[in-house]
Every structure is written in structure tokens, then in C-alpha cells.
Amino acid sequence: MNKENKTKHHQDMHHDHDHEHMNHGEHNRDHHDHSGHDGHGHDGHSAHMMADFKQRFWVVLVLSIPLAIIAPMLMHLLGYHIDFPGQGLLEFGLATIVFFYGGKPFLSHAWHELKSGVPGMMMLISLAIVAAYVYSVLTTFFISGMNYYFELASLILIMLAGHYIEMKAQMSAGNAVESLAKLLPSDAEVIHEDGSTSEVKVDQLKKGDRIFIRPGAKIPIDATVYEGHSEVDESMLTGESVPVLKEADAQIVGGAINGDGILKAIVSKTGTDTYLAQIINLVTDAQAQKSKAQSIADVWAKYLFYIALVVGIIAFVAWTAIDGYLMGLQFMVATFVIACPHALGLAVPLVNAESTSLAAESGLFIQNRIAFEDAHKIDKIVFDKTGTLTQGEFGVDEITVMDGKFNETSLLQIVYAIESQSEHPIARGIVKEAESRKIEKLQVADYHNLTGKGLEGTVDGKNIQILSPKATRQAGYTFDEEAFKASASKGRTVVFVIYDQVLVGAIAVSDIVREEAKQVVAQLQNKGIQVLMLTGDNQQVADSVGQALHLDGVFAEVLSDEKASKIKALQADGGRVAMVGDGVNDAPALAQADLGIAIGAGTDVARETGDIILVDSNIHDVLNILNLSKATKQKINQNLMWGAGYNVVAIPLAAGVFAGLGIVLGPALSAIIMSLSTVVCAVNARMLRRAYKKLQAN
């Protein structure tokens, strides 16, 4: 995918969703939606269609018993004879019910395929059962010969059973959305003004409602805790295996499970704004996207119909000439039935559904399936420093006063006023220090962010700027460069304070390198991937982190709007580049990269830009992405090889090419083999979990 298209994908994703989903629906109808279900995200409808197939199966089975008893073929094989007036009409009547009632799902979906201009497996099956039925009717009323009614009933019976089993396998492979939806309880306990509680339906909750959450209960909706404390299990939602302590002012999400404590909380989000609703939307979008492999499989499946049609007609003509109409019909029907565009059409969607489900369980959300599919090909990974390779929790190490008007406290007070307006990790560290000293917060006016340089605002009528070293130099201010270098060499980040156009001080803060970062960097390098770091910090701080982690390279003092050009330069050097950073602030760089990974999205995943969104800031998830991508690709290739290989072998067998060697597949056996071929794809897709875990263990 070129960069312009990829950027447009990020910008237009939500606008284009309906279009993408429509296409996916068409694919399902063409290649695997013979059951009438419109995709893996519509499990309720799929369950209804499964019940319909099951009912049709039992009706056809009952009707097939008398057909079997009076079938000419069985009488000949078992050596008994039944003959009574109207026998042919009885067979015709029973077979007609079987044909129209049992065959309806196949005939109706064949009609959809014909109208869409993309004939597939339903058309082949319908041609087979129509040929068998029409030939049998002709033998009953117009021409002499053995009818095919029992074979027709057997064929439809096996097809109904096979498709029921196959639909069940499909649902188990693509039930991510259904599983997520089941996480929410149906009821919530609301706290009234007088302190009493009562149960209401979750969909009746409004923002601002107070809810009571008992020990062990599922949290019904996103809310903010105002009383109580408890450890909450969020593993089903974020992949975080360790329960998270929740107390006053903490955010809790619907679907998580409360621990041993009692929590009282105020509803903060409802409807589509909730974390779980955002996840379901992301998973549905991911399942609706076609990957490159799927597009290729669709083309193969389309041509396979015509190949099977031609081979079936040739088999009919050849075997009719050799051994009569009945033998010609048998081989043609067997060829139509055994050909399985379905195995090809399902090869990729089933694996994609399973990988989406696995990713969601781990707190990884795929927004761009094509980028995810190629993730295992990445040669270089560029990490933004703060909050990824480092903890992102800064602490104040040193306050330097450069003007006699100030002391440490008064200098920190004006910086506190400005930094309290920002959510940057450095700002949070300074705010934390000021609050620990119980410093009064001053009012700020005209606050704004100086992109890539620092912050600016007005306090008590005086202009105050908090600038990076580079921006301070560019503004014409001078400071003790040796002292600055000494501080930076210790891994500290220094910000300078400009008060009313005068440089009055500096504050040094430091971030801590994550312990797990060393392990992840080493594992990535063992895979042959170059690991690089990109940061707005000065060169000394960048080098300090780079040396601690044994990185392959660092880019320092890079402004936010320069990050994308750095990624582009790395791509120009050759290879595929991944960028790991903040899904909001690093959006251009994430869009430019071949794989953009937005890390630390928290519970507001919908606002993130990135091919893949990580809920947590755990960089182990980057390894998980590469491993899941590799395992997914392996399973897709296996399914495609099976789908293609099966048809290459099965079609000639069914056409009677090897009849001279005694290998003959009748229509009923062909139907069984065809049904099993798709089940193999579904089972192999389910084994993705095992393959993924195996890669994680290595």
C-alpha cells in the first residue's frame, strides 16, 4: 500500500466503513454465505439459519427413508424387490418435496449468485440437484431408465448436514464480537438520592447516574469511582492479566469483573461511547476488511466455478458416449458437487476472524488488515521514547534558579501553573512535584502549546514560556552549556523557564527506562529487526537511553511534525518500517509507516490513529503483533494450499479420470468429501491459537 493511500485509509476509515462492509457482505454471499448469514459479526442470524438447516435435514431424512426402501439401486444391491401400483408417482412426490424444501437454501442462493454475476458453489450444487431431479422426472413420465430420486435425496441430505456442521465451525472461528457482547451484564444497580438501590436495565443508564457494584459482579458500564476500592479484572478487555486497583477518581469499564471490594461510581459514558462498544466496532471493522490474500482467493474461487462447469459437461458427454446417460449424469453431478470454491472462499476469512478474536483478547485492535498481514515482514521498528521504551513517569531531579527574583518554590509555582494545563508526561511529573510540596496553583491565561518547542501562557499579567534547550537557543537565550551537558549525560531532560522575556531558571526531570524494554529490544534484534528510537529530547538524553537498551540508532530533538519525514527517510533506505508511538500526537508518523502501532490508547481507543491499536503501554505487545501476523499468514497459506490442492485432486477424481483404476466417486461420496473440505479449513483456522502460542513461547 503506498503512503498516500495508507494515509487516506486512516483519514477515511470511518466514512468508508459502510462501503467496506457491503463488499464483505457480497463476498460472504458469493463464497460462503449459502446459509444466509451475512458475516461473522451477525451470529444471531447465523444461529437462526443453522436451526433452519437442521430442521430441513430432519424433514428430508424422514422423507428419504421410504425413498431408500423402494430405490431401484438399493433393491438391486440388497437383493429384494418391491413393486406396487403408483410406486413411481410416490417416488416422484417424495423426491419433489425433498427437492423444493430441502434444496431451497441452495437454489435460492444460486439465484443470488447468478444475479450478482459471481457464480460459485451454490450454483454448482444447484446444477447438480436440478440435473438429477429433471433426469428422474423424465424417466418417470417420458423415457425409460432408472430414476435418480434416492440419490437426489441422499445428496441433499448430506449437503444439509455438511453445511450445518460447516456453519457451526465458522461461528466458532469468528465469534469475537459475540464473546465481547456477552461480557456486559443485562442489569445494573442504581443508587437513588435516599441511598437506596434498585435494578435497572443497562441500556436505561444515563450519564451522571450513580451505580453500586457488588464484590464479584460484572461492571455494567463505563464509570468513575467516587467511593470504595477494589481490584478489578480487566483481562477480557485489555489483555492485562493482573487485576488493577480501583479507588476514588479511577476509571472503570463495562464488562470488567469487580474483585472483593464494593465500588460506587458515576456513569461517565453510555452507548457507542463506551470502551466495549468501541472495541466491538473496531473488531467488526477488522473482520469486514478484505486482506490481499482474500482478494486473490476470491479470484481463484470465481474461476474454479467455470473450470468445474466445463469439466462436468465434458465428463457427461464422455461417459454418456462410453456407458450411457445414467453414468454420464452420475459423473457430471459428482463433479459439480465435489468442486469447492467454498474451501477457497473461506480459507482466508476464517483465519482472519480467528486472528481478530485472538488480537482483541490481548488488547490489540486491528484497524488495517493489509498492514497487519504484512507485519511479520518488518525490517525496522522505530519507537517514540516517552512511555514506550521509558515509563513515561517523570520525576523532578533538580531545580536551578538563574534570577534573584525567584527561589525554588516561586520558580516551581509559575512553572506549575503553566504545566498543569498540559497532559504531557514531563508536565505531569512537574505537577506531581508541586503538589507534593503543597504549592498553591496560580491562574493561567492565554495558554497554548508551542508545537515541538514547549508551552506558553500568562500568569499575573506576565508572559511565561517553558522551552526545550533547542527552542531556548533558537529564541536567543544563553545558559551554562557545560552544566546542561552534565545533566543531560545522566539521562535527564531539562526545560528552561522564560519569565517576561528573561531566562530565570531550569528544571531537570528524568524518566526511567522500562526493564521489559531491554528484553523486547533484544528479542526484536534476534529476529533480525533494527530497533531505533525517535524523540524530541536532546541528543545526550537520547544517547543515554540508546546505550542502556543497546539500540541500533537514535534520532534526537525531532519535532512532532518532523517525525513523518524521518520515517519516510528510513523507508527510502529500503525495507519495511514500523512506528510505535502515541496514536494522537504521532498520527502523521504512524500513517507514514508501513505499520503504525498506536500504544497506550487506554479506554478511548476510537480516537487513535494507527494500523493497530494497543490498549496498554506494554511493548511486549509489539512482539505479540509480529508473532500473530506470522502465525496468521502461515494458517492462511495452509488453507489456501488445501483449498487449491483439494480441488486439483478432487475434480478429476469425480469426473472419472481414474475410473480405469477402479477409483469412482459417486455423488453422495463427493458431497461428503466436499463438506469435509471446508470443515478442514475451519478446524485449521481454530488451530491458529496454538500456532500463535507456540511462537510466543520461542
Bridge partner residues of 554 (DSSP): 533
| Half-sphere exposure (Cβ direction) of 664: Cα atoms closer than 13 Å | 12
Residue 209 falls in the annotated catalytic set: no
Q: Which of 33, 374, 384, 543 does the annotation list as catalytic? A: 384
CA 445 to chain centroid, in Å, comes to 44
Amino acid at the residue 408 = E
> b/e map of 267-301 (b: 16 or more CB within 10 Å)?
bbbbeeebbbbbbbbbbbbbbbbbbebbeebbebb
641: number of Cβ within 10 Å: 11
Is residue 436 within 8 Å of 457, Cβ to Cβ?
no
> Would the CA dihedral through 644, 114, 51, 173 be positive or negative?
positive
State the Cα–Cα distance between residues 438 and 435, nearest whole angstrom. 5
Is residue 405 within 8 Å of 462, Cβ to Cβ?
no
E strand segments, 468-604: 492-499, 502-510, 530-534, 553-555, 577-581, 595-598
- Beta-sheet pairing, 223-227 with 210-213: unpaired
H/E element holding 230?
A: strand 230-233
State the Cα–Cα distance between residues 628 and 692, nearest whole angstrom. 6
Amino acid at the residue 204 = Q
Q: Which three three-digit cell numbers place residue 441?
A: 496553583
> b/e map of 88-99 (b: 16 or more CB within 10 Å)?
eeebbebbbebb
- Show which residues are catalytic: 384
